[in-house]
């Protein structure tokens, strides 16, 4: 029996070693992207609050994946994902609808200009659109993505009233078993959930129920982006905190000491 099991044990050990080596290579690639010179000093300074290395590791990002970044804004995560994926993977950036508003148009124009300025880093990024219904929201070819990532966006879709449709588009883009990674400002469960999320905060259970209702399953949660100092009771909502400081000089030192918001970090899979 021992003799017959030996080849199986050797094979299992080999697979484990291969998996560990792949993980180490992926971690090294993330570190290289984080340290790259194209990242602005301002964006680097936020690493301590946004924990990009740990967050991407939690979602299982690898350099050979097809990834969709939903509503990348100014491209904070794009600066990390684009070089990570450019040689062996693919990155889709599902941006705002430039026809939606002047703010959206400028955001998308600035984002495209950022990509165009460094073709060596961003030349392979494919820009798509996640727009309000009834627009056709093919954020990537159906069933093509290994991972969809969205950070601090759910409250926006709640404000617009098409949060379900947003996650349906993400579900369509993912392969069966593909991963959806969600980071969002965590609401206080002792307070009622505002259907429009005007404060920017969203209850964990609200997010779970919504996302699972469109065909995902929550498989893991992390406190990587937690911040116990965030009391979530500010007149100007989450935007009172850094980096926005919506109140200007009013209570600036207090909000700076609190830091960026308390956030939940959820990992779902497509069923």
Domain layout of the chain by residue ranges: 2-270
Angle at the Cα of 154 (from 213 to 76), degrees rounded to 5?
135
Query: Residues 6 or more apart from 215 whose CB is under 8 A from it?
Result: 171, 270, 271
Cα separation, 124 vs 87, whole angstroms? 9
Contact criterion met (CB below 8 Å) for 14 and 48: no
Closest listed residue to residue 202, CA positions, set 156, 246, 142, 259: 156
Token representation of residue 164: 């379900």
Secondary structure letter of residue 36 according to DSSP? -
**Coil, helix or strand at residue 237:** helix
**Coil, helix or strand at residue 3:** helix
Cis status of the peptide bond prior to 181, with omega within 30 of 0: no
| Domain 2-270 sits in CATH 3.40.50.150 | yes
Helix and strand counts by DSSP (H, E) for the chain: 11, 7
pLDDT in tens, the chain (271 residues): 444 655 655 555 554 554 556 666 679 999 999 999 999 889 999 999 999 999 999 999 999 999 999 999 999 999 999 999 999 999 999 999 999 999 999 999 999 999 999 999 999 999 999 999 999 899 999 999 999 999 999 999 999 999 999 999 999 999 999 999 999 999 999 999 999 999 999 999 999 999 999 999 999 999 999 999 999 999 999 999 999 999 999 999 999 999 999 999 999 999 9
The bridge status of strand 145-151 relative to strand 66-70 is parallel
């Amino acid at each position: 029996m021992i003799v017959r099991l030996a080849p199986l044990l050797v094979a299992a050990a080999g697979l484990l070693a291969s998996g560990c080596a792949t993980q180490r290579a992926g971690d090294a690639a993330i570190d290289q992207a984080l340290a790259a010179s194209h990242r602005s000093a301002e964006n680097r300074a936020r690493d301590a609050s946004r924990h990009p290395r740990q967050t991407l590791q939690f979602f299982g990002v690898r350099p050979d994946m097809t990834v969709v970044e939903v509503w990348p804004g100014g491209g904070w995560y794009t600066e990390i994902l684009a070089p990570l994926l450019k040689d062996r993977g693919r990155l889709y950036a599902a941006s705002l609808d430039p026809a939606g508003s002047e703010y959206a148009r400028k955001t998308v124009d600035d984002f495209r200009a950022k990509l165009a300025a460094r073709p060596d880093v961003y030349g392979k990024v494919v820009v798509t659109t996640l727009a309000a219904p009834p627009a056709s929201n093919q954020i990537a070819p159906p069933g093509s993505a290994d991972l969809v990532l969205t950070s601090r966006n759910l409250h926006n879709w709640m404000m617009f009233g098409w949060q379900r449709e947003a996650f349906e588009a993400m579900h369509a883009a993912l392969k069966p078993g593909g991963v959806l990674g969600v980071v969002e400002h965590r609401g206080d469960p002792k307070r009622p959930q505002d259907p429009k999320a005007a404060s920017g905060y969203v209850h964990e259970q609200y997010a779970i129920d919504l996302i699972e209702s469109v065909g995902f399953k929550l498989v893991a949660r992390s406190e990587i982006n937690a911040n116990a100092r965030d009391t979530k009771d500010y007149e100007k909502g989450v935007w009172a905190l850094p980096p926005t400081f919506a109140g200007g000089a009013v209570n600036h030192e207090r909000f700076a000491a609190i830091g960026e918001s308390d956030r939940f970090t959820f990992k779902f899979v497509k069923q």
